[in-house]
C-alpha cells in the first residue's frame, strides 16, 4: 500500500498497528501514536508535527528524511529501526527515555529539544547538531561526536576519553561539564 502526499490530522492510532505501507511526503499533524506499532512501515520525506510517540514500536520501520516538529517521543527504541538510508530531524521535541544506541545517523539535527534519560551509546552522530538542546541524564558512550554542534546546549556531560569529539563545537560555560569525569576542580 502506498500513501503519497497525504495529510493525516488529529488521528488516534494509539494501541493500534499502523497499516504496513510506504508513506511518501505525507504530513501527520497532532496524531496520537502512543503504544502504536509501526513495524515494517516506510516513511520517506514525511513530517510529523505535534504528534505523540509515547512507547511507539518502530521495529524494522524505515525513516528517510523524516522531520519531527514539536513531538513527544517517550520510551521509543530507535535502535530497532531499519538503518537503510535512515535520516531524521528533531525540532523542539520532548525526547525522553529513548534508545538511539548503535545507530549510524550522521548529520542528524536535534534543535531546541529536551533530551532526557536517552542513550546514544556506540552511535555515529558525526556532523550533526544538538544546538540549543537541554539534556538531563543522557548517555553518550563510545560515540562518534566529531563535528557535532553542542553550542547553546545545556545539561550534557560525557567522558571525553571514550567518545570521539574532534571538531565538535561547544559553548562556555556548559563545556566545563566535560571536565567532570577527570575529577578536577575548576575555579
Domain that holds residue 81: 1-123
pLDDT of residue 72: 98
DSSP 132-158: T-EEES-B--S-B-TT-B-TT-BS---
Residue 33 placed within a domain: yes
The pTM is what? 0.94
Same structural domain for residues 119 and 150? no
CA distance 187 to 179: 12
Residue 129 placed within a domain: no
Residue 132 placed within a domain: no
Burial of residue 183 (number of CB atoms within 10 Å: 0-12, 13-18, 19+): exposed
CA distance 148 to 125: 7
Same structural domain for residues 13 and 63? yes
* Per-residue pLDDT tens digits for 7-61: 999 999 999 998 899 999 999 999 999 999 999 999 999 999 999 999 999 999 9
Residue 133 placed within a domain: no
Residue 68 placed within a domain: yes
Same structural domain for residues 108 and 38? yes
CATH number of the domain within which 20 lies: 2.160.20.80
Same structural domain for residues 172 and 98? no
DSSP 160-180: GGGSB-TT-B--TTGGGGGGG
Same structural domain for residues 151 and 102? no
Same structural domain for residues 2 and 90? yes
Domain count, the chain: 2
Residue 154 placed within a domain: yes
Q: Is the CB of residue 99 less than 8 Å from the CB of residue 79?
A: yes
Same structural domain for residues 2 and 37? yes
Same structural domain for residues 67 and 32? yes
Same structural domain for residues 3 and 93? yes
CA distance 114 to 23: 27
Reduced to 3 states (helix: H, G, I; strand: E, B; else coil), residue 27 is: strand
- Residue ranges of the chain whose pLDDT lies below 50: none
CA distance 98 to 117: 7
pLDDT of residue 184: 80
Q: Which of 48, 145, 126 is CA-nearest to residue 93?
A: 48
Residue 128 placed within a domain: no
Residue 107 placed within a domain: yes
Same structural domain for residues 148 and 98? no
Same structural domain for residues 15 and 105? yes
Same structural domain for residues 117 and 149? no
Neighbouring CB atoms inside 10 A of 166's CB total 9
Amino acid at each position: 500500500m502506498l500513501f503519497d502526499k497525504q495529510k493525516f490530522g488529529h488521528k488516534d492510532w494509539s494501541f493500534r498497528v499502523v497499516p504496513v505501507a510506504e508513506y511518501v511526503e505525507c504530513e501527520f499533524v497532532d496524531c496520537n501514536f502512543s503504544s502504536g506499532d509501526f513495524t515494517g512501515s516506510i516513511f520517506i520525506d514525511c513530517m510529523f508535527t505535534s504528534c505523540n510517540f509515547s512507547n511507539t514500536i518502530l521495529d524494522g520501520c524505515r525513516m528517510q528524511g523524516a522531520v519531527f516538529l514539536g513531538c513527544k517521543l517517550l520510551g521509543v527504541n530507535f535502535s530497532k529501526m531499519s538503518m537503510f538510508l535512515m535520516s531524521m530531524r528533531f525540532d523542539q521535541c520532548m525526547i525522553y527515555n529513548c534508545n538511539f544506541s548503535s545507530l549510524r545517523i550522521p548529520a542528524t539535527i536535534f534543535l531546541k529539544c529536551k533530551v532526557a534519560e536517552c542513550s546514544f551509546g556506540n552511535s555515529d552522530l558525526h556532523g550533526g547538531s544538538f544546538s540549543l538542546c537541554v539534556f538531563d541524564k543522557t548517555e553518550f558512550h563510545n560515540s562518534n561526536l566529531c563535528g557535532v554542534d553542542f553550542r547553546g546546549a545545556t545539561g550534557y556531560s560525557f567522558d571525553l576519553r571514550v567518545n570521539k569529539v574532534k571538531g565538535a563545537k561547544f559553548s562556555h560555560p556548559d563545556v566545563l561539564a566535560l571536565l567532570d569525569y577527570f575529577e578536577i576542580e575548576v575555579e
